[in-house]
Structure 1
């Protein structure tokens, strides 16, 4: 009996030691369509480091702004994911590995389904700039498009933009390549379609972020990502993610005409020189 009790105490002591060494990464995935992918890529990075981390997922009703603030102050969350710019990187610490390899910076257009001929005539970037685009008033994309000379019609409410493009208030509503197909499926009553031939592209990194007071976590995750990139596992996970495969197939990206524009909102530390971090439709088989 004494031997059995001693054995149980030893097991409890071992478990307590493991638990004490294990570090928790608290995240929130409330109503976020990118959460599943972001968490799966985080798990990939953690498999490539030697420290024991555990992900703790909450589903509390939180806006992106609230999530970012909780991470910034070191509150109830340790990590966030979102598109990045210099302003964002001034407040929280980015892990500069673009989770979607910049795929979200490829924008295809929602248009009135009777207007495709108008876009078939676009041959140059200057032709494209003769058209008007609709965007949310506070969106980063709005500033990017305006900085490149596009005419942007702004709306305060995201749902309004679908009715505005249908009604001819502007010519096109640019969306990330992963967005418009589901959005239109939810609005079958509207006379809308995805434009067939064009892409507007700019560098748009989608990073994981941690508090500036937690550089160790950032270093560990970045190390894991770089090891996964080196052996091909990162690219394999990216290309086989259902949301990525679905987007590339539906958007017919390889056969579209791509117009590249600048993103003046990026920080100077954006790893633009690391070609392996960025998706290019020309590389598709």
Structure 2
């Protein structure tokens, strides 16, 4: 695949995935079967994730026609629980950060949907709290300032942050966390650089700003998942993404949805604070660490 899109770091992410993702070698016989596939509502509402799923499905016509539907509005924990059930009727696909337990209980498509950017976090904050973040340069500084971080109850970020000694305030509902930050229940809502600009465009984030100096980083690949028994959906998604990587359309996708963030968040001038993630499988830990190290190095050498 070509590796010369507009944004060098995002381009690198696509090229790295081409070398790390093993081919499935699974090809379905051409079929006229039609399936309704239901995507978790938060992913469906995200233009980036919804369009990645559509891209993968469009590149695998031999699996049959499809209609992509929006799920009921259930929490991340409930969505993943439903995917473990054979009689699940709520959803077929979810995109979440991976853990060893999730890979064991579900059917992962082991390609980071954002090229590995989810593990790079900036803080959404109240404007009046910006001085609290000045001159922080290390994990120890974060602890000493007693910075509290808001996260979802069932998100893998929560135990990662806690394992690194940080104070975390949680709620099972994503939307509620914005109100908690506005009410100063915590100091920083840590959001992925691939998510935060979309967040700020929503009415619920009115009055919040992005803290300008810090970039919290840890290995955290974000995968699409299907149900453990739903091999057809998992195979179709993986084959479709592999084809997109190989023909260059995955790199185009990364640039379209994440290139703006790479430009607007002024990453080069931010202080990177690297955390450990002890909850990955061996395979995902290898992908996550390599991507984190290389993206961190390239961020520091971005042309401004």
Could you tell which deviates more after superposition, 44-53 or 108-117?
44-53
Q: CA RMSD in A?
A: 3.5
Equivalent position SS for 1:73: coil
Q: Does 1:55 align with 2:48?
A: no
Q: Are the aligned partners of 2:120 and 2:192 in contact in 1 as well (CA < 8 Å)?
A: yes
1:105 — aligned with what? Answer: 119
Q: Equivalent of 2:203, from 176, 180, 186? A: 186
> Quick check: 1:135–1:152 contact (8 Å CA) kept in 2?
yes
Q: CA deviation at 1:199?
A: 0.8
Q: CA shift at 1:193, angstroms?
A: 2.8
1:103–1:34 CA distance, 2 compared to 1 (3 A): farther
Counterpart position of 2:262 = 248
Equivalent residue for 2:95?
A: 81
The aligned counterpart of 1:270 is 284
Cα shift at 1:196: 0.7
Task: Identify if the C-alpha distance between structure 1 residues 24 and 162 changes in structure 2 by more than 3 Å, giving closer, same or farther.
Answer: closer
Equivalent in 113, 126, 135 of residue 150 of structure 2: 135
Q: What TM-score, normalized by structure 1, do the two folds share?
A: 0.75
Greater CA drift, 75-84 or 197-206: 75-84
Q: 1:28 maps to what in 2?
A: 39
Q: Distance in 2 between matches of 1:29 and 1:137?
A: 16
1:41 to 37, 49, 52: 52
Residue equivalent to 1:9? none
Deviation of the 1:260 alpha carbon: 1.5
Q: How many residues align?
A: 265
Q: Distance in 2 between matches of 1:205 and 1:67?
A: 19
Please name the residue that 1:12 is paired with.
none
Give 1:103 deviation, angstroms: 1.7
Contact 2:151 2:190 in 1 (8 A): no
SS at match of 2:286: coil
SS in 1 for 2:47: helix
Q: Which runs of 5+ in 2 are unaligned?
A: 1-28
| Residues 276/52 of structure 1: CA separation in 2 closer, same or farther (3 Å cut) | farther
Distance between the aligned counterparts of 1:179 and 1:58, measured in 2?
24
Change (3 A) 1:135 1:103: same
